[in-house]
């Protein structure tokens, strides 16, 4: 498939049109922030190839996602903030890390074994996080077992990963692939890269893994369950095949499937408001996890905003129960957890799966 660019996509059509709409929607909200404070920080636990670990998740403020500024992805409510000078300094980024360490110190008994750093962009893009800062952060977390770093595939390379594995830290790069199907990624999500770029990033990670003496390196793929414009059954089919394709790529050991939720100031929100979008059923999430349980990768899902109209939901009666089964599956990878949940609304979901077509969706809300 050809690469989308203004040359192959006519002006005002395809990705160009998506970007125009997204820029207009995002511009309705202005945001500014303090470059010395992280966007968010929290403690949790996570399933990793090395077992379940206590985690510290950090969302760094790095000056923001360039793609969001261009227009960006149809479901992402991230508002392109502007920072004076367009980037965040080494000192400010290290202040953000200090704030996170203080948060951990105050709220946890011991240091987390797993550190996860997201930037709403690419941690490995040196225009966001320079080499000096990257190495200082690697040094700061040298005593931890494992680190997850978010990046677009373009910026993944073996040397940058080596800054972390060199300290003996197992390193995972989290890539927002969204789907393995290029057509869906380009036209429904409005993300510009190809599956082949993801495969290249996995090769870089596999090489870093082979070069590391006492640490592992790998890729964690983030997929989007039910982008706009797909019916429930198309979304399910797309997820099953995406998980299978990701699991087959050497270097990719984990797939995190994120059900789409309706965020403000997005194209998904516009569609939702006009009765043109329903977030996925939790039954769909459970079904995909069951169908892909025997693939050669850890498959997890953390439905955000479950049970609400703007988040993944069933009938409201059974939402908490199904969500709990999904969380159990995340930790144990045992599909039998889903045998223990049932509800009358499963029949409605099955009917939607069978009868919803793109011209009548959403068939129910």
Q: Residue 345 binds what, of ligand SF4, Zn ion, none (CB under 5 to 8 Å, by partner type)?
A: Zn ion
Residue from 59, 73, 88, 202 binding ligand SF4 (CB under 6 A): 73
Residue 298 belongs to what H/E stretch? strand 298-300
Q: Residue 329 binds what, of ligand SF4, Zn ion, none (CB under 5 to 8 Å, by partner type)?
A: none
Strands 217-225 and 146-150: unpaired
Residue 189 contacts Zn ion per CB under 5 A: no
Residue linked to tokens 């997850």? 148
Task: Using the minimum distance from each CB to ligand SF4, give the nearer residue, 67 or 272.
Answer: 67
Residue linked to tokens 């390193």? 171
CB of 219 to ligand SF4, least distance (A): 16
Task: Using the minimum distance from each CB to ligand SF4, give the nearer residue, 74 or 165.
Answer: 74
φ, ψ for residue 53 (rounded to 5)?
Answer: -130, 150
Q: Is 63 left (phi over 0), alpha (psi -120 to 50) or beta?
A: left
Stretch that binds ligand SF4, among 6-14, 71-79, 128-136, 155-163 (CB under 6 A): 71-79
Over the range 103-137, which residues count as b (16 or more CB within 10 Å of their CB) and which as e? bbeeeeeeebbbbbbbbbbbbbbeebbbeebbebb
Residues in region 244-273 near Zn ion by CB under 5 A: none
CB of 69 to Zn ion, least distance (A): 40
The rounded distance, in Å, linking the Cα atoms of 87 and 85 is 6
Bridge partners (DSSP) of residue 263 are none
- Packing angle of the helix pair 158-165, 195-211 (nearest 10 deg): 40
Task: Using the minimum distance from each CB to ligand SF4, give the nearer residue, 19 or 323.
Answer: 19
CB of 263 to Zn ion, least distance (A): 24
- Packing angle of the helix pair 345-355, 232-247 (nearest 10 deg): 80
Binding mask 101-140 for ligand SF4 (x = CB under 6 A): -------------------x--------------------
Task: Using the minimum distance from each CB to Zn ion, give the nearer residue, 315 or 363.
Answer: 315
Bridge partners (DSSP) of residue 240 are none
Q: To the nearest 10°, report the CA torsion of 226, 231, 236, 241.
A: -90
CB of 179 to ligand SF4, least distance (A): 13
Task: Using the minimum distance from each CB to Zn ion, give the nearer residue, 27 or 316.
Answer: 316
Residues in region 296-335 near Zn ion by CB under 5 A: 314-315, 317-318
CA 117, 133, 208: angle at the middle one, nearest 5?
65
Residue 93 belongs to what H/E stretch? helix 90-107
Stretch that binds ligand SF4, among 62-70, 133-141, 235-243, 244-252 (CB under 6 A): 62-70
Residue from 38, 176, 259, 303 binding ligand SF4 (CB under 6 A): 176
Residue from 67, 141, 195, 229 binding ligand SF4 (CB under 6 A): 67
DSSP assignment letter at 2: P
The rounded distance, in Å, linking the Cα atoms of 100 and 142 is 16
Tokens of 271: 């569609």
φ, ψ for residue 71 (rounded to 5)?
Answer: 145, -70
Measured CA distances, 116 to 204, 238, 279 (Å):
20, 27, 27
Residue from 17, 52, 343, 363 binding Zn ion (CB under 5 A): 343
Q: Residue 120 binds what, of Zn ion, ligand SF4, none (CB under 5 to 8 Å, by partner type)?
A: ligand SF4
Task: Using the minimum distance from each CB to ligand SF4, give the nearer residue, 46 or 81.
Answer: 81
Q: Residue 162 binds what, of ligand SF4, Zn ion, none (CB under 5 to 8 Å, by partner type)?
A: none
CB of 342 to Zn ion, least distance (A): 9
What residues make contact with ligand SF4 under the rule CB under 6 A? 65, 67-68, 72-73, 76, 78, 120, 176
Contacts with Zn ion by CB under 5 A lie at 314-315, 317-318, 343, 345
């Amino acid at each position: 498939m050809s690469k989308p660019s203004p040359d192959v996509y006519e002006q005002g059509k395809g990705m160009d049109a998506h970007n125009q709409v997204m820029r207009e929607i995002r511009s309705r909200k202005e945001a500014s922030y303090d470059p010395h404070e992280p966007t968010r920080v929290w403690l949790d636990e996570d399933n990793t190839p090395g077992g379940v670990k206590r985690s510290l998740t950090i969302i760094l403020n790095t000056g923001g996602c360039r793609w969001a500024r261009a227009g960006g992805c149809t479901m992402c409510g991230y508002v392109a903030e502007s920072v004076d000078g367009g980037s965040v300094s080494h000192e400010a980024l290290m202040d953000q890390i200090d704030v996170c360490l203080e948060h951990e110190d105050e709220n946890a008994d011991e240091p987390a074994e797993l550190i996860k750093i997201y930037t709403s962009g690419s941690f490995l893009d040196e225009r966001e996080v320079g080499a000096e800062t990257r190495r200082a952060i690697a040094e700061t977390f040298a005593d931890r077992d494992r680190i997850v770093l978010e990046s677009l595939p373009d910026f993944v390379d073996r040397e940058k990963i080596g800054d972390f594995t060199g300290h003996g830290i197992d390193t995972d790069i989290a890539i927002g692939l969204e789907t393995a199907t290029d057509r869906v990624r380009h036209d429904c999500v409005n993300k510009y890269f190809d599956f082949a770029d993801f495969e290249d990033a996995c090769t870089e990670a596999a090489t870093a893994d082979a070069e590391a003496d006492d640490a592992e390196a790998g890729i964690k793929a983030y997929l989007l369950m039910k982008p706009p414009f797909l019916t429930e059954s198309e979304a399910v089919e797309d997820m099953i095949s995406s998980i299978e394709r990701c699991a087959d790529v050497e270097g990719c050991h984990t797939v995190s499937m994120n059900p789409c939720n309706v965020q403000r100031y997005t194209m998904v929100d516009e569609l939702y408001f006009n009765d043109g979008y329903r977030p996925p059923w939790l039954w769909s999430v459970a079904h995909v996890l069951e169908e892909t349980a025997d693939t050669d990768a850890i498959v997890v899902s953390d439905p955000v905003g479950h049970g609400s109209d703007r988040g993944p939901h069933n009938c409201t009666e059974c939402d908490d129960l199904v969500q709990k089964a999904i969380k159990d599956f995340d930790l144990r990878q045992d599909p039998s957890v889903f045998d223990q949940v049932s509800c009358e609304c499963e029949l409605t979901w099955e009917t939607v799966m069978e009868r919803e077509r793109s011209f009548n969706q959403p068939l129910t809300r």
